[in-house]
Chains A and B, each alone.
Chain A
Amino acid sequence: MIKVKNLSKDFPRQKVLTDIDFTAKDGRRVLILGKSGSGKSVFLKCILGLLVPDTGYVEIDGTDVSALMAKPRLKRKLTRVRQNIGYVFQGSALLDSLTVEENIDLALEFKRLKKSERDRIINEKLKLVGLSSKVRRKYPQQLSGGMKKMVAIARAIASEPKYIFYDEPTTGLDPAMVVRITKLIIELSERLDITSLIVTHDMGLARRAGQDVYFLKNYTLSRTKKSTRLEELYE
């Protein structure tokens, strides 16, 4: 479970998040919607301490991670919590000095698996997102934007984490891929009981995959009834 209480985060000369309360129950697919620039990506990063919140409490799986973020000394513990989390970054964020397979391999590093086992996982995950193993030796610069996104998804799910944060997982993908990724997100959460945080502007994905809905507006996050038409939220 992820619990957030009274979280605030501002940048110099810019208010972004004020007094956010948020809960993601185990195994749920939680949507975080909101207009561009409203602070959705910032919120996801604050949960993991990639950005340190100004104030507030964050708990993941019973661990008070807000206490860990505040002290560099406790970095090792924070790292251990993060190993349970897969993160699909909005801009894919593949390491550009590494090939596709090395990128995915890096996500498996902490598991200390045998080379052959890691190899098998890399192939399996690439297949799952619909990429052929031909891309394994390619560098991110040699891939299209959509392909990078798929590799990023493969990397995020490689270690079979308990939580996956998807920051716009379907932007830049063709319609067939959008359907495939939408199904994958639902299937992963059901088969492996993964808790998913999904930030998206894609109403198709939102309607199909979303179970709990939060909307970010005026610096705060509010829970929305499932019956609300999602488009209305933006008006």
Chain B
Amino acid sequence: MIRDLGRYLLFTFRAFTGMGYVLKRPRLILKQIYYLGLLSLPVISFTAIFMGMVVALMVTYQLEVGLPKFYVGATGGRTILIELAPVIISLIVVARVGSNITARIGTMKVTEQVDALETMGINSVHYLALPIFIAGTIVVPVLVIYGNLISLVAAAVSAKVIADIPIADYIFGLRRYVILNDVLGGMLKTILFGLIMGSVSSYYGFRSELGAEGVGKAVTQSVVTSAALIMIFDFIVAFWVFRV
């Protein structure tokens, strides 16, 4: 466990030593950004809509105790922006993209493509992993912004349809009670989540053992580890930024 952590940190550190190499080849990064974004957009749109609807339902349910209607915008918005969208969307990206990255690099390793890079005098970790780290830290926050917007709209619409809460009240609640700190705190941690997703999934890809079975095992470990790390860091950030 401790040794694994050490290996992972060393791997991540080594990847970053290739920054000069990768920055001279922006196409490597752009390709990954395109690929990560494309893979996750459909599933994230879908998740964000349902997330918004569920939040609207849960908050309107609580209005029964006599809370004012703008409360849907205030509490619902905060729940989405601070916690739900950043965490759920990051986890979805891990499931959709992180697993894919591990499988892709693992397959490259098993089919000697990683060896081929190395014999061509190219550092495979710089070439394959670092662009993914960078793309992850850019794409995950962008996807979360996108997910935020979709969820907020979905929540507004379903609050109107289900509980007849005027859109104007919803927007009033949002604007009155959601502060910049909420949005930024929610966003900042997603940069970290993106880095976790990118580095953990490449790490397990490189570590996967010979054979398709080995790659399968690596994918499982990669997803579980990324998800666990995201939850841990989510708690740390919450403790740090949002403690009253």
Contact = CB atoms under 8 A, between A and B. Distances in A.
Given A72-B14, A95-B108, A106 B120 contact: yes
Contacts of B119: 48, 50, 82, 85-87
A93 B119 CA distance: 11
Given A72-B14, A79-B123, A94 B116 contact: yes
B169 interface: no
A140 to B, nearest CB: 10
B208 to A, nearest CB: 15
A205 to B, nearest CB: 21
A139 to B, nearest CB: 13
B112 interface: yes
Nearest to B125: A75
A46 B120 CA distance: 16
Contacts of B112: 89-91, 93
Contacts of A234: none
Interface string A74-99: 01000110110111011101111000
B232 to A, nearest CB: 28
Q: How large is the interface on B (under 10, 10 to 19, 20 to 34, 35 or more residues)?
A: 10 to 19
Contact of A106 (B111, B115, B122, B123): B122
A45 B120 contact: no
A135 interface: no
A79 B108 CA distance: 19
B123 A96 contact: no
A107 interface: yes
A35 B117 CA distance: 28
B164 interface: no
* Most chain B CB inside 10 Å of its own CB: which residue of A48, A86, A93: A93
Contacts of B220: none
Contacts of B20: none
A109 interface: yes
Interface string A37-58: 0000000010010100000000
Interface residues of A, number: 25
A91 B120 contact: no
B116 A93 contact: yes
Contacts of B120: 82-83, 106-107, 109-110, 155, 159
Contacts of A86: 119
A93 B14 contact: no
A48 B116 CA distance: 11
Interface string A146-163: 000000000100010000
A95 B117 contact: yes
Contacts of B117: 95, 106
Contacts of B111: 91, 93, 96
Contact of A79 (B14, B116, B121): B121
A93 B118 CA distance: 12
A106 B111 CA distance: 18
Contacts of A72: 14
A87 B119 CA distance: 7
B62 interface: no
Interface string B136-176: 00000000000000000000000000000000000000000
Contact of B116 (A83, A95, A159): A95
B119 to A, nearest CB: 4
B113 interface: yes
A131 B119 CA distance: 23
Interface in A152-189: 155, 159
A82 B118 contact: yes
A136 B207 CA distance: 32
Interface of A: 45, 48, 50, 72, 75, 79-80, 82-83, 85-87, 89-91, 93-96, 106-107, 109-110, 155, 159
Which 7 residue pairs across A and B have the least CB separation, nearest first?
A83-B121, A93-B112, A93-B116, A87-B119, A50-B115, A89-B112, A110-B121
Given A91-B111, A93-B115, 5 more contacts: A50-B118, A80-B121, A87-B119, A106-B117, A106-B120
24 contacts: A45-B115, A50-B115, A75-B123, A79-B118, A79-B122, A82-B120, A85-B119, A87-B116, A87-B119, A89-B116, A90-B112, A93-B111, A93-B115, A93-B116, A95-B108, A96-B113, A106-B120, A106-B122, A107-B120, A110-B120, A110-B122, A155-B116, A155-B120, A159-B120
